[in-house]
Structure 1
Amino acid sequence: MLYIVTELLTEGQAKTFSIIGATEDKQKAAGIAAEVYKDYNKNASFQNIEMITEWLATRRAYSFRKDKDHRLQLAITELDSDVLPENKRVVFSAQAEEEELMRRVSQALFEGKHTAERGGAVHSCPIEQK
């Protein structure tokens, strides 16, 4: 079995997905992921890092948010054949963000707002009164 360690780093609006490494030992994969966490969170204690290493070894995923704009997500994916099964292929999906955007647009339209602002320029949605 091969364990692939991945990282998703969110810094404001920017998102970076990285493959950190791969190993045949689950505990070593958890250690690799914990090192990424240790580099990201300089204030982490030894006990905290040990706890996160154990969490990664058992749950194979960990998420840490510094604040609302900075987040680190770590994952360990098991690969026991040449091809992953379909239900385990997705590592990251932006669907939640898109759904939130559409919810906000829908709410604004429901409240009667028909203009949007981007970069200081106001754009209007033409509405014909009948």
Structure 2
Amino acid sequence: MMYIVTCLITTEENNEFSIIGATADKKSAAAMAAEIYKDYNKVASFQNIEMITEWLATRSSYSFRKDKSHRLQLAITEVNEKNTAPDKQIVFSAAAEQDELMRKVSEALFEGKHTAQQAGDGNTATCPLN
């Protein structure tokens, strides 16, 4: 069994997805992911990092939000030589980002912004949100 450690950092400007590494030991994978958290959250205490390491070892994922627009998501994915169930093969899901986009669209519609326009290329329809 191998464990792949992945990281998604979401900011206002972009989303950055990284494969951190792979290891044969789940506790090593949790420690690897906790190091990413430690670099991301510079004010985290030793006790906090130990707690997150334990959480990652048991739950295989952790999400930390610095503020409204900055988030760190860590995941440990088990990789078996045999095919695994489809729900265990998901490495990244953008559902939360899609939900946020739909919330913004709903808010714009509620505020009376209900027009769409075509982008400069003439093929892409857009609905600008400010």
Alpha-carbon offset, residue 88 of structure 1: 1.8
Q: Give me the TM-score of the superposition, normalised by structure 2.
A: 0.76
- Which blocks of at least 5 consecutive residues in structure 1 are unaligned? 118-124, 126-130
Count of residue pairs brought into register by the alignment: 118
Instruction: For residues 69-103 of structure 1, give each alpha carbon's deviation from its aligned partner in whole angstroms, at most 9, with x where no partner exists.
Output: 11111000111225443222222222343344345
Match of 2:54?
A: 54
Match of 1:71?
A: 71
Task: Please tell me whether Structure 1 or Structure 2 has the larger radius of gyration of its CA atoms.
Answer: 1
Matches for 1:1-130 after TM superposition, within 5 Å: 1-102=1-102, 104-105=104-105, 108-109=108-109, 113-115=113-115
Q: Give me the TM-score of the superposition, normalised by structure 1.
A: 0.76
1:97/1:78 CA distance change after superposition, 3 Å: same
1:105/1:44 CA distance change after superposition, 3 Å: closer
SS of the counterpart of 1:71? strand
Taking the aligned partners of 1:102 and 1:70, their CA distance within structure 2 comes to 18
Taking the aligned partners of 1:87 and 1:97, their CA distance within structure 2 comes to 19
Taking the aligned partners of 1:85 and 1:3, their CA distance within structure 2 comes to 15
Structure in which a larger fraction of residues adopt strand: 1
Query: Percent identity, aligned pairs only?
Result: 69
Aligned partner letter, 1:16:
E
